[in-house]
C-alpha cells in the first residue's frame, strides 16, 4: 500500500505538472486527498505492521499521519481560494499544487519510516518541495527567503548525515550493520558512548531546522513568512512534527543507554534557549506571520522541555505537538483572510478586524486563546502536564524561569492580537474592503474545536496510541 501511495502521489504530481487545465488540476488534487485518506485509513487498520521493508505503521507515525491528513484537506481548500484570489497563471498554479502534494507525501512517508536513513531522505525531499512553495511569489524577498531556507537546510541535512555516520561507528562493536530504529534499539546497550554522543549532537542539531529550535530556527521563520499562508500552515505544523519525529526516534535509542541524562540536558538547554529567543522576538516583532512562526518556536521549546523532564512529560509532549499542529494551522489559514482585508502583514496597518470580518475575527480570538494555552484550549491540558512533569523532575528554578518567559510571550501575543481585533488602524481606507464569506472560516473552527476536544476529552484509542508510542522509553 505504501508503494501504491508513493507512486500514486508521483503520478498525480506529474499529471498536475503537465496539464494546465484548471478543472483537471483541482480534480487531481481531489484524487490526491482521496488517496491520502485511503492510505491513512489503511495504515490505521494495519497498526504495527511493516510495509515495503522501510515503513512501519507504528503508533507515533499513525497519530501524526492522521493529523497530517486532517490538516491537508483545509490546506488544499484554502490553497484553492488563495490561488483563485491571486488570479495565478496556469504554470504558477501547477507548480504550487505539485509542491504541496510533494510536501504532504514526503512528510507522511517520513513519519512512517522505520530506518534512520529513510527518514533523512524524506526530510531532504521536504526541503525541495518547501523551497518551491516559498518561492511562490517570485520576487526579491521570496528569493531571499528561499535562498536562506535552502542553504541552512542543506547544512542541516549534512549535519544529520554526519550524525548517521557517527552512529554507524558507534554500532560497529555490536556487529549488526543495520540502521533501522528497531535494530539500533536492540544494540543500544553495546553502543560506544563517544560516537553516540557525537551522533546525537549532530542529528539533533540537524533536525532543529525542521523542528524550529535553537540553533537552526532562523530559516524556518523566514520560510513561513514568505510562503503563501496555506503552505505556511503546513510548514509550521506538520513539517515541524517531522522534525520532532526525527529527534524523538533518535532520543528513544539514546534514552536506552547510559547517556539518557546527558541527552536530556542537551535537549533541555536547546529548549530553554528557544523559549528565550521566542520571547525576545515576540516582544519585538511587528509582522503578524513572523509572530505566529515565533509562537511555533515557543511551543516546540515547551514540547522539548516536556521530553527532557520525562515521566508524564513524554505523554504531554506528543499531545502538545498534535494539538499545536491543529491550532497553528488554523491561525495561518485565517491569516490569508486578514491579508485580503488589510493587504498588509504589519501590525501597524491592521486593526478593528471585528468590524470587517466578524467570523474571521472569532477565529483569530479563539485561535489566540488556544495558542496561548488558556482554558478551555486543549493546549492548556498539555502545557499543564508539561509543567507538572518539570515539577516532578525537581526543576523548580527552570520552571519558574519558563513561566516568566511564557507570561511575557502571552502579553506580547495578546497585545498584538487584540490590537488587530479591536483598535482601528490609522489611515485605513474602508471602501475597498472585500466581503469575505463566513463559510471560509468553517474549517478553522473545526480544527480549533478538534484541539479542544482532543485535549479535554481524549478518546480512549487516542490515549492508547500515545501511550504505545512511549512504550520503548525507560520508565
Partner 1 sequence: MIDVLLITFLITLFYMAIANRLMTYIKVLAIQGILLFVVAFLQLEEINPLNLGLILLETIVVKAIVVPVFLVYILRKNNITREAEPFLSNFFSLIITTLIVVLTILLSNTIENTQLDKIFFIVAMSTLFFGLYLIATRRKIITHVMGYLVIENGIFVLSLAVGNEMPMLVNLGIMLDIFASVLILGIFLNKIGDVFKDVDVQQLNSLKDV
- Of 121, 185, 401, 473, the residue at the interface with partner 1 (CB under 8 A) is 121
- The minimum distance between CB 156 and partner 1, in angstroms, equals 11
- Of 7, 22, 24, 194, the residue at the interface with partner 1 (CB under 8 A) is 194
- The minimum distance between CB 120 and partner 1, in angstroms, equals 8
- Of 165, 400, 403, 404, the residue at the interface with partner 1 (CB under 8 A) is 165
- 147 contacts partner 1 (rule: CB under 8 A): yes
Binding region for partner 1 (CB under 8 A) out of 24-32, 96-104, 117-125, 180-188: 117-125
- The minimum distance between CB 375 and partner 1, in angstroms, equals 30
- 53 contacts partner 1 (rule: CB under 8 A): no
CA distances from 393 to 263, 270, 383, 386, 457 (A): 15, 18, 15, 11, 26
Q: What is the DSSP string of 166-203?
A: HHHHHTGGG-----BHHHHHHTGGGS-HHHHHHHHHHH
- Which residues lie closer than 8 Å to 259 by C-beta, 6 or more apart? 193, 196, 197, 200
- 195 contacts partner 1 (rule: CB under 8 A): yes
Site for partner 1 in 251-290 (CB under 8 A): 281, 284-287, 290
Q: How many CB atoms lie within 10 A of CB 439?
A: 8
Q: Taking the alpha carbons of 201, 205, 208, 214 in that order, is the dihedral positive or negative?
A: positive
Binding region for partner 1 (CB under 8 A) out of 30-38, 73-81, 143-151, 296-304: 143-151
CA distances from 176 to 145, 163, 168, 183 (A): 42, 18, 10, 8
- The minimum distance between CB 413 and partner 1, in angstroms, equals 14
- 463 contacts partner 1 (rule: CB under 8 A): no
Coil, helix or strand for 36? Answer: helix
CB 170 within 8 A of CB 199: yes
Site for partner 1 in 401-460 (CB under 8 A): none
- 169 contacts partner 1 (rule: CB under 8 A): yes
Supply angle C-alpha 247, 386, 462, rounded to 5: 75
- Of 10, 20, 21, 158, the residue at the interface with partner 1 (CB under 8 A) is 158
Site for partner 1 in 174-193 (CB under 8 A): 177, 192
Q: Beta strands 50-51 and 55-56: pairing type?
A: antiparallel
Cell of residue 475, nine digits: 520508565
Residue among 179 and 449 whose Cβ is closer to partner 1: 179
- 1 contacts partner 1 (rule: CB under 8 A): no
- 10 contacts partner 1 (rule: CB under 8 A): no
Closest Cα to residue 455, out of 331, 333, 326? Answer: 326
Binding region for partner 1 (CB under 8 A) out of 119-127, 249-257, 322-330, 434-442: 119-127
- Of 131, 187, 205, 359, the residue at the interface with partner 1 (CB under 8 A) is 131
- 155 contacts partner 1 (rule: CB under 8 A): yes
Q: What is the DSSP string of 385-415?
A: HHHHHHHHTT-HHHHHHHHHHHHHHHHHHHH
Site for partner 1 in 338-367 (CB under 8 A): none
- 130 contacts partner 1 (rule: CB under 8 A): no
Q: How many CB atoms lie within 10 A of CB 316?
A: 27
Amino acid at each position: 500500500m505504501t508503494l501504491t501511495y508513493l507512486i500514486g502521489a508521483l503520478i498525480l504530481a506529474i499529471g498536475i505538472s503537465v496539464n494546465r487545465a484548471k478543472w483537471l488540476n483541482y480534480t487531481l488534487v481531489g484524487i490526491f486527498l482521496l488517496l491520502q485518506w485511503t492510505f491513512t485509513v489503511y495504515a490505521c487498520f494495519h497498526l504495527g505492521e511493516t510495509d515495503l521493508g522501510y515503513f512501519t505503521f507504528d503508533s507515533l507515525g499513525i497519530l501524526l499521519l492522521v493529523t497530517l491528513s486532517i490538516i491537508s484537506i483545509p490546506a488544499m481548500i484554502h490553497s484553492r481560494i488563495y490561488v483563485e484570489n491571486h488570479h495565478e497563471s496556469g504554470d504558477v498554479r501547477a507548480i504550487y499544487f505539485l509542491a504541496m502534494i510533494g510536501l504532504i507525501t514526503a512528510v507522511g512517508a517520513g513519519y512512517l519510516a522505520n530506518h534512520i536513513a529513510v527518514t533523512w531522505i524524506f526530510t531532504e525531499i521536504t526541503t525541495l518541495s518547501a523551497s518551491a512553495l516559498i518561492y511562490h511569489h517570485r520576487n526579491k524577498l521570496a528569493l531571499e527567503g528561499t535562498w536562506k531556507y535552502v542553504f541552512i537546510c542543506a547544512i542541516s541535512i549534512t549535519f544529520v548525515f554526519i550524525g548517521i555516520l557517527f552512529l554507524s561507528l558507534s554500532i560497529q562493536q555490536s556487529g549488526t550493520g543495520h540502521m533501522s530504529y528497531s535494530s539500533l534499539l536492540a544494540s543500544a546497550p553495546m553502543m560506544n558512548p563517544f560516537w553516540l554522543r557525537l551522533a546525537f549532537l549532530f542529528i539533533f542539531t540537524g533536525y532543529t531546522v525542521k523542528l524550529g529550535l535553537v540553533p537552526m530556527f532562523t530559516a524556518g521563520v523566514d520560510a513561513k513568512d514568505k510562503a503563501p499562508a496555506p503552505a505556511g500552515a503546513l510548514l509550521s505544523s506538520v513539517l515541524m512534527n517531522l522534525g520532532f519525529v526525527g529527534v524523538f526516534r533518535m532520543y528513544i535509542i539514546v534514552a536506552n543507554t547510559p547517556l539518557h541524562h546527558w541527552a536530556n540536558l542537551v535537549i533541555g538547554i536547546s529548549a530553554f534557549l528557544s523559549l528565550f529567543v521566542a520571547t525576545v522576538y515576540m516582544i519585538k516583532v511587528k509582522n503578524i506571520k513572523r509572530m505566529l512562526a515565533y509562537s511555533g518556536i515557543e511551543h516546540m521549546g515547551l514540547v522539548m522541555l516536556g521530553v527532557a523532564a520525562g515521566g508524564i512529560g513524554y505523554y504531554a509532549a506528543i499531545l502538545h505537538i498534535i494539538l499545536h499542529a491543529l491550532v497553528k494551522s488554523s491561525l495561518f489559514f485565517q491569516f490569508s483572510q486578514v491579508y485580503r482585508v488589510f493587504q498588509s502583514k504589519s501590525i501597524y496597518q491592521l486593526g478593528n478586524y471585528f468590524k470587517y470580518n466578524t467570523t474571521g475575527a472569532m477565529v483569530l480570538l479563539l485561535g489566540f486563546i488556544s495558542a496561548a494555552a488558556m482554558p478551555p484550549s486543549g493546549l492548556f491540558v498539555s502545557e499543564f502536564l508539561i509543567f507538572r512533569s518539570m515539577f516532578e523532575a525537581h526543576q523548580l528554578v527552570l520552571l519558574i524561569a519558563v513561566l516568566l518567559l511564557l507570561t511575557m510571550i502571552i502579553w506580547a501575543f495578546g497585545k498584538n492580537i487584540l490590537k488587530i481585533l479591536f483598535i482601528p488602524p490609522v489611515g485605513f481606507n474602508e471602501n475597498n474592503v472585500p466581503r469575505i464569506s463566513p463559510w471560509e472560516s468553517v474549517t478553522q473552527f473545526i480544527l480549533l474545536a478538534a484541539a479542544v476536544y482532543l485535549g479535554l476529552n481524549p478518546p480512549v484509542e487516542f490515549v492508547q496510541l500515545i501511550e504505545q508510542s512511549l512504550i520503548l522509553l525507560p520508565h
